[in-house]
Structure 1
Amino acid sequence: MNATVQQIRSELRYLVRELGLLDKNCLNSGLSLSQAHLMTYLHKNGQTSFSELGTQLNIEKASLSRTLNNLLNQALIHAYPESTDKRQKRFELSTLGIERLGEADTAANETLGRLIPQLSLNEAEEVISGLRALRLCAFRNNASIDPSRVQIEELTTSYKEDVLRLIHDTFAKEQAIPEDLVPLPDDTPQYWWVARSGEYILGAAAGWYENEEWHWGRFVVDSRFRQLGIGLKLASYSLHQLLTMTDSIYIEARDITVSIVERLGGQIVGKPFDFYGMPVTPMRLARLN
Structure 2
Amino acid sequence: MPVTKDAVLPIRDASRRIVRELGFMKPTLAGTELPASAVHALIEIGNRSGLTATDLCDRLNLEKSSVSRMLRKLIDGGELTEESSDTDGRAKRLTLTVQGRRTLAAIDAFAQEQVGSALACLPATDHAMVVEGLRLYADALHARRAAAGGGPRVATPPAVRIERGYRPGLIGRAVDMHAQFYARAHGFGAVFESRVAAGLADFLPRLDRPDNAVWTALDGDRIVGTIAIDGEDLSGAAPAPRIAHLRWFIVEDGRRGGGVGRRLLDEALAFADRSGFAETRLWTFRGLDAARRLYEAAGFILAAESPGDQWGTEVTEQSFVRPRRS
- Tell me the TM-score normalized by structure 2: 0.58
- Counterparts in 2 of 1:186-225, with a 5 A limit? 186-189=207-210, 190-193=212-215, 195=217, 202-210=224-232, 211=235, 212-225=242-255
1:78 and 1:162 mapped to 2: Cα distance? 39
Q: Tell me, what secondary structure is at the counterpart of 1:265?
A: coil
1:126 and 1:170 mapped to 2: Cα distance? 13
Q: Determine if the alignment matches structure 1 residue 287 to structure 2 residue 286.
A: no
Q: Tell me, what secondary structure is at the counterpart of 1:260?
A: helix
2:18 and 2:127 mapped to 1: Cα distance? 14
Q: Tell me, what secondary structure is at the counterpart of 1:281?
A: strand
How far does the alpha carbon of each residue in 1:183-219 deviate from its partner, in whole angstroms, 9 at most, with x for none? Answer: 6324243445555667765433333432454333321
1:173 and 1:139 mapped to 2: Cα distance? 26
The structure carrying a bigger helix percent of its residues is 1
Within the candidate set 204, 207, 228, 1:184 is matched to 204
Aligned partner of 2:9 in structure 1 is 6
1:162 and 1:49 mapped to 2: Cα distance? 34
Query: 2:311 is matched by which residue type in structure 1?
Result: Y
1:150 and 1:241 mapped to 2: Cα distance? 21
Unmatched 5+ residue regions in structure 2?
147-154, 183-192, 236-241
Q: Given that residues 164 and 213 in structure 2 are in contact (C-alpha distance below 8 angstroms), is that contact kept between their aligned partners in structure 1?
A: no
Label 1:108 to 1:80 Cα distance change in 2 as closer, same or farther (>3 A). same
Give the drift of 1:19: 4.4
Query: 1:225 is matched by which residue type in structure 2?
Result: R
Q: Determine if the alignment matches structure 1 residue 168 to structure 2 residue 175.
A: yes
- Tell me the TM-score normalized by structure 1: 0.63
Within the candidate set 163, 180, 189, 1:155 is matched to 163
Within the candidate set 279, 293, 298, 1:264 is matched to 298
How far does the alpha carbon of each residue in 1:124-147 deviate from its partner, in whole angstroms, 9 at most, with x for none? Answer: 989978854640431564798889
Aligned partner of 1:251 in structure 2 is 281
CA RMSD of aligned residues (A): 5.1
Give the drift of 1:266: 1.4
Q: Tell me, what secondary structure is at the counterpart of 2:296?
A: helix
Q: Given that residues 266 and 283 in structure 1 are in contact (C-alpha distance below 8 angstroms), is that contact kept between their aligned partners in structure 2?
A: yes
Q: Given that residues 152 and 194 in structure 1 are in contact (C-alpha distance below 8 angstroms), is that contact kept between their aligned partners in structure 2?
A: no
Give the drift of 1:112: 8.4
1:14 and 1:138 mapped to 2: Cα distance? 15
Give the drift of 1:253: 2.8
Give the drift of 1:222: 0.8
Unmatched 5+ residue regions in structure 1?
none
1:70 and 1:13 mapped to 2: Cα distance? 29
2:20 and 2:6 mapped to 1: Cα distance? 21
Of all paired residues, the percent bearing the same amino acid is 19
Q: Tell me, what secondary structure is at the counterpart of 1:25?
A: coil
Q: Tell me, what secondary structure is at the counterpart of 1:226?
A: coil
Query: 1:239 is matched by which residue type in structure 2?
Result: L
Q: Which stretch of structure 1 is more off in the superposition, 73-82 or 277-286?
A: 73-82
Aligned partner of 1:59 in structure 2 is 60
Query: 1:205 is matched by which residue type in structure 2?
Result: I
Aligned partner of 1:26 in structure 2 is 29
Query: 2:103 is matched by which residue type in structure 1?
Result: R
1:126 and 1:171 mapped to 2: Cα distance? 16
Q: How many pairs were matched up? A: 278
